[in-house]
Amino acid sequence: MQRDFAIVGVMWAVLTIIGELLAIFVDFLPVVRSDKGEEIEEAFKILIYMSIPVFTFVISMLVYSVIRSSSSEFPGEDGPAMKGRGSIPVAWLAVTSGLALLVMIWPGLTGVNSLFFDDDETELVVEVEGVQWAWIFNYPEQDVSTVNELILPLDRNITFEITSSDVLHSFWVPSFLMKIDAVPGKTTEITLRPTKVGSFETDPLMRLQCAELCGLAHSKMVARVSVLEAGEFDLWAAEKAAGPLGGEPTPAAGAQQIEIVGKDILFDLDEITVESGTQVEIVFDNQDAGIFHNWAFYESRDAAESGALAIAGSPIEAGPLVQQVVFDPPEPGTYFFRCDVHPVDMTGDFTVQ
Amino acid sequence: MIVGIVLAVSLATAILVVGWWGYTAFRRIEHVALTRTPYPIAGGANGGNGHGVDWIPAAMPMARGLIGAAIGFGVGVGITAIGRSLAGDGAWSLEMSFAVGYVFALPGWLMGVGLFERWVPEWFGRETKPGAEGWQRFFAFTTDHKVIGVQYLVTFLLLFLVSGLFAMLIRMHLLEPEGAIFSDDGYNRVMSLHGIIMIAVAVAAIIGGFGNYFVPLMIGADDMAFPRINALSFWLVPPVAVLLLSSQAVGGWDSGWTAYPPLSVTNASGQVFFNLAIITFGLSSILGGLNFLVTIIKMRAPGMSWGRLPIFVWSMFAASILALLFTQFFAAAMLMITLDRVADMSFFNAERGGAPLLYQHIFWFYSHPAVYIFVLPGLGVTLEILAHFSRKPLFAYRWAVAGLLGIVGLSAVVWAHHMFIAGISEDLLAPFLITTEIISVPTGFVFLAALGTIWMAKLWLRTPMLFALGVIFNFLVGGITGIFLADVPTDITLSDTYFVVAHFHYTIIGGEIFALFAAIYYWLPKITGRMYNETLGKLHFWLMFIGFNATFIPMFWLGLNGMNRRIASYTPDLQDMNVVASVAGFVMGASFLIFVANMVWMVVRGPKAETNPWRARTLEWQTSSPPPEENFPSPPVVTGDPYDYGVPGAPKHGVFSPAGASGEESR
């Protein structure tokens, strides 16, 4: 039996070395872009290094036992009659308990402590609201709101105050690695610091993906995430704060009034035509109780989908209510309107003649 | 309002009259059918095969059950209509009328299917009718644990194959980033349906099928402690399957098998069908757990001390404790959602003082122990087979038992590890991390027993043994990746991703479904009296094993690379690995065609199985294949350990008093 133990020992050692080398050179997680994400990646690697010897031990025992003696024919003789009543189970208990204690403390409890109980000073607050099926962001200090577009500054401690207005959602940016559910009637928090500049266009993991099943369009409840240099972020926020979504509507006499109804997550019009040269007043009647809509006017569908600012639009609010959007129509041509919360189902062409 | 009451009363009366008329007409047809063709001859499991299958009498109990259900449903709908009219609402509301109707339909079904004839008269001191005989027993309210075992096994294998087809559709859909075949809603519904049916299979296929058939045989009993409760447990299952599948007619449900509110309070009405199905299935599960516990405690043969109990029986004992104590919490959670929907309560409505997180605590308080209800019997089967096919004693038997019971104890205090990212208090993270990591220690005992048993053995590599060895590998992967999900720092990012999907498929398919197939190849020769085809069996194993691993290993990568679970569409960078997983999934799916072919071959052409084809020591192999109705030729007496292979001078595990077991060697 000593020879068998020696062979298994060698197998175990060789497989472990191969496994650990692979683990060092394989990148398990893609580019990590937040401070807490880096801690999580570290914990993941530690667990991988620890689990490889356990895995290779069982595999060596298993594979060697099969190679040593196995047959489709009835083996004929029994035994040896090892009952496992001696010290082996006690040793097994000691080793497995030790391993469990180890992963419990490091990277487990140490990680909990640094991820959740090391309070960094918050330098930016972003309020996040999940609605079926969009993300609404509010930057209270900057007086800026966006939908499905999360713009963040590099190297600032950002606290996300997360809630939901309908069902459960979950706040997860894969490249930040942090995640927490959005729960109705409750605010949950994540604090982290982005460590790399980047955007969804170049890294598909730079997206805020709803990770908790939330019904029909769950898989499409995605917001683009961009991390900008701090100065660029401040510029963006200043520009956005002055943007059209904040303006007060004051229709002039003789404005062309268009009424549009939002009901059952659909507009009643998919085409609006106006004359150029006269002010336009859109009266948007959101009849969906408890559902967030708005009416926003864009250069084109492509412009809207690539994150360009709306030319005009109303704030995102839950129905039932009536909103007004007043603006001067641009040059004749074909434009685009949509509800920012429901960019798939609530869209239409806007023609200026 | 008065019009409403009048309408409701007349509706209820009409249903009762039509129901009664249908029932009596049915009894006349039945009478004609029965006098035209006699019952098949009484006998063993194959009794009645000789003169063909007579479907009409066989279909009678279920048809009576349907009529009973229809009458009950009418009563419930009528009562709802009266109540609603008195309150000034419309007489019919899909969810409320259906829910109340179902409450009355379920006892109606049970009465019709057999309770009314086989049980109720005794409550009033009258004689009950004798049960069906021969072939028809498999379609009737029957108290023989072996028949019930077969009923469970066939029902859940069919559900497994149906739900496996859903899995194939899911993998087809995910071949393309935008989704290839379903609408978003269609995907969510199929994914939810696949989830819950497979959960039901995981709960009941081994426990209901092999537990029922073999626990009494392995402990030397002639039946379960409560044979009629056993039959009741099984006949609660068909309504569950009907509810889950028919829910699709009213929009299905899109909240997964976990049914988290508020989504599950506001989605389509299929959710109510789901809730009622779970409550019914829970009742079946609780009754089954109670029955197994009493059977194992009270019905053991003389000499069958706790230390001589086969490990599969121990695993059934452990799983039954969990089923008895915890299932009620899932049912309670479902009841609360139903009440939120149909009775305007607000357990989970935050705006009206409810708490969405409350549900998750109640749900996981059952559903984490539930994964051990799935896996423990699977591990029991695995250790059982490893010992018999290694021809060695089960290594560290007592430690393995301690491991099973240790898991039972700890499973009650680990539930919140499913909620690390749910928004629970940060102070709860550390305690649940600690308890969850501790549970790896008793689980480790099972690995100790498995590895110690095959160590230095001459392994007999037949199909059951291949599946059992497969369990060790798969459950190892499942167990190790579980560490990543128990440690909070890594769970934060892995939770709700495909890493979790891969992990739980490794534990449930890898740890239980592989064990289910090990059990099928191991025990079906005893049940059918025929042998399966060894070549097809091995082919099934290798295709399933390779297909399974090639399906789910890519999913670990997908989870790490930003694919979250339950999504109908994904970003294009994830397509390649999804295609790999899908193609491998189809290979795994194809392996079940071979399995079905093998089963058909076994029943049609399979050679006759010996009493003890595996030369195993345990009691079920000492009686004929299939066993007689009373299980043993004479009551067995247990005289030694079940796994004493190669122990010099070891007594037989069991012997039969005077009549003897026809000279069969018991080893």
| Three-class secondary structure of residue A256 per DSSP | strand
Which pLDDT value is given to residue A45?
96
Q: Which of B135, B122, B119, B163 is nearest to B52 (CA)?
A: B135
Q: Is B348 an 8 Å CB contact of chain A?
A: no
In tens, the pLDDT along B201-222 reads 999 999 999 999 999 999 999 9
Q: Is B13 an 8 Å CB contact of chain A?
A: no
Tokens 């997550």 locate to A265
Nearest CA in chain B to A214: B263
Any alpha helices (H) in B411-533, and if so which ranges?
429-438, 440-454, 463-486, 488-494, 498-508, 514-528
- For residue B174, the 8-state DSSP code is T
Among candidates B258, B568, B573 on the partner chain, residue whose Cβ is nearest the Cβ of A219 = B568
Say which amino acid occupies A55.
F
Cβ neighbours, 10 Å, residue A322: 13
Give yes or no for residue B235 having a pLDDT over 50: yes
Q: What is the rounded average pLDDT of the residues B550-567?
A: 96
Among candidates B350, B444, B486 on the partner chain, residue whose Cβ is nearest the Cβ of A92 = B444
Tokens 């308990």 locate to A97
Q: What is the rounded average pLDDT of the residues B657-667?
A: 49
What band does B451 get if pLDDT is binned at 50, 70 and 90? very high
Which pLDDT value is given to residue B134?
79
Q: Which two tokens stand for residue A352?
A: 């200026």
Q: Which two tokens stand for residue B22?
A: 């249908």
Which pLDDT value is given to residue B46?
43
- The answer to whether the CB of B641 falls within 8 A of the CB of A83 is no
Which pLDDT value is given to residue B41?
35
Would you list the domain boundaries of chain A?
A: 2-67+87-116, 124-241, 251-352
Burial letters B389-398, b for 16+ CB under 10 A, else e: bbbbbbbbbe
- Decide whether A124-241 matches A251-352 in CATH topology: yes
Burial letters B403-439, b for 16+ CB under 10 A, else e: bbbbbbebbebbbbbbbbbbbbeeeebbebbbbbbbb
| CA-based R_g, chain A, Å | 29
Cβ neighbours, 10 Å, residue B279: 23
Which pLDDT value is given to residue B25?
61
Region at A157 (left for phi over 0; alpha for psi -120 to 50; beta for the rest): beta
Domain range A251-352, CATH architecture: Sandwich (2.60)
pLDDT exceeding 70 applies to what percent of chain B? Answer: 90
Backbone angles phi, psi at B425, to 5 degrees: -60, 140
Instruction: Name which of A313-322, B152-161, B412-421 the model is least confident about.
Output: A313-322
**Averaged confidence pLDDT in chain B:** 91
Count CA within 13 A, CB hemisphere, residue A198.
17
- For residue A31, the 8-state DSSP code is -
Say which amino acid occupies B222.
D
Q: What distance in Å separates the CA atoms of residue A338 and residue A297, rounded to the nearest whole number?
A: 7
| Three-class secondary structure of residue A287 per DSSP | coil
pLDDT exceeding 90 applies to what percent of chain B? Answer: 85
Q: Which two tokens stand for residue B33?
A: 């059918």
Q: What is the rounded average pLDDT of the residues B618-636?
A: 93
In tens, the pLDDT along B351-392 reads 999 999 999 999 999 999 999 999 999 999 999 999 999 999
Angle at B210 between CA B276 and CA B387, to 5 degrees: 140
| Three-class secondary structure of residue B292 per DSSP | helix
What ipTM goes with this model?
0.89
| CA dist A260 → A324, A339, B139 (Å) | 10, 12, 61
- The answer to whether the CB of A304 falls within 8 A of the CB of A336 is yes
**Averaged confidence pLDDT in chain A:** 91
| CA dist B370 → B138, B257, B292, B328, B581 (Å) | 28, 13, 16, 11, 27
Which residues of chain B make contact with A166, given a CB cutoff of 8 A?
A: 262, 266
Residue B57: is the preceding peptide bond cis (ω within 30°)? no
Site from A106, A188, A219, A220 to mutate, B interface, most B CB atoms within 10 angstroms: A219
Q: What is the rounded average pLDDT of the residues B612-638?
A: 94
- For residue A140, the 8-state DSSP code is T
Spell out the residues 6+ positions from residue A17 whose beta carbon is closer than 8 angstroms to its own.
none
* DSSP 3-state percent helix, strand, coil across chain A (nearest 5): 30, 30, 35
Which pLDDT value is given to residue B40?
38
Q: Which two tokens stand for residue B241?
A: 């399957």
* Ranges A99-113, A323-337, B126-140, most confident: A99-113
The sign of the CA dihedral A140, A144, A146, A149 is: negative
Which pLDDT value is given to residue B21?
65
Q: What is the rounded average pLDDT of the residues A84-99?
A: 95
Angle at B505 between CA B504 and CA B511, to 5 degrees: 90
In tens, the pLDDT along B261-273 reads 999 999 999 999 9
Q: What distance in Å separates the CA atoms of residue B113 and residue B65, rounded to the nearest whole number?
A: 4
In tens, the pLDDT along A142-166 reads 988 888 899 999 999 999 999 999 9
For domain A124-241, the CATH class is mainly beta
Among candidates B266, B434, B459 on the partner chain, residue whose Cβ is nearest the Cβ of A69 = B459
Which pLDDT value is given to residue A307?
65
Which pLDDT value is given to residue A1?
83
CB pairs under 8 A between A and B: 285
Spell out the residues 6+ positions from residue B494 whose beta carbon is closer than 8 angstroms to its own.
B484, B485, B500, B559, B560
What band does B37 get if pLDDT is binned at 50, 70 and 90? very low
Contact B455 A65 (CB under 8 A): yes
Contact A178 B492 (CB under 8 A): yes
Q: What is the rounded average pLDDT of the residues B26-41?
A: 49
Contact B646 A79 (CB under 8 A): yes
Q: What is the rounded average pLDDT of the residues A327-337?
A: 90
Nearest CA in chain B to A98: B441
Contact B440 A96 (CB under 8 A): yes
Cβ neighbours, 10 Å, residue A254: 8
Q: Which of B626, B608, B614 is nearest to B665 (CA)?
A: B614
In tens, the pLDDT along A225-270 reads 999 999 999 999 998 886 655 445 567 777 888 999 999 889 999 9
Which pLDDT value is given to residue B665?
43
Q: Which two tokens stand for residue A194?
A: 């982005």
Q: What is the 3-state secondary structure (H, E, C) of B215-272?
A: HHHHHCCCCCCCHHHHHHHHHCHHHHHHHHHHHHHHCCCCCCCCCCCCHHHHCCCHHH
Strands A347-352 and A271-274: parallel
- The answer to whether the CB of A319 falls within 8 A of the CB of A288 is yes
In tens, the pLDDT along B650-659 reads 999 999 876 5
| Three-class secondary structure of residue A306 per DSSP | coil
Which residues of chain A make contact with B565, given a CB cutoff of 8 A?
A: 211, 213
The structure's pTM equals: 0.89
| Three-class secondary structure of residue A139 per DSSP | strand
What band does A221 get if pLDDT is binned at 50, 70 and 90? very high
In tens, the pLDDT along B252-310 reads 999 999 999 999 999 999 999 999 999 999 999 999 999 999 999 999 999 999 999 99
Which pLDDT value is given to residue A291?
82
Domains of chain B, CATH where assigned: 2-134 (no CATH), 143-605 (1.20.210.10)
Contact B260 A59 (CB under 8 A): no
What band does A344 get if pLDDT is binned at 50, 70 and 90? confident
Higher pLDDT, A306 or A11: A11
Contact B433 A104 (CB under 8 A): yes
- CB contacts under 8 A, A 2-31 vs B, are 4, 28-30
Could you please report the per-residue DSSP string of B526-579? HHHSB---HHHHHHHHHHHHHHHHHHHHHHHHHHHTTPBSS-S---GGGHHHHH
Q: Is B435 an 8 Å CB contact of chain A?
A: no
| Three-class secondary structure of residue A192 per DSSP | strand
Among candidates B356, B560, B565 on the partner chain, residue whose Cβ is nearest the Cβ of A29 = B560
* Helix B463-486 × helix A35-68 angle, to 10°: 160
Q: What distance in Å separates the CA atoms of residue A272 and residue A350, rounded to the nearest whole number?
A: 5
Q: What is the rounded average pLDDT of the residues B529-553?
A: 97
pLDDT exceeding 90 applies to what percent of chain A? Answer: 67
Backbone angles phi, psi at A261, to 5 degrees: -110, 135
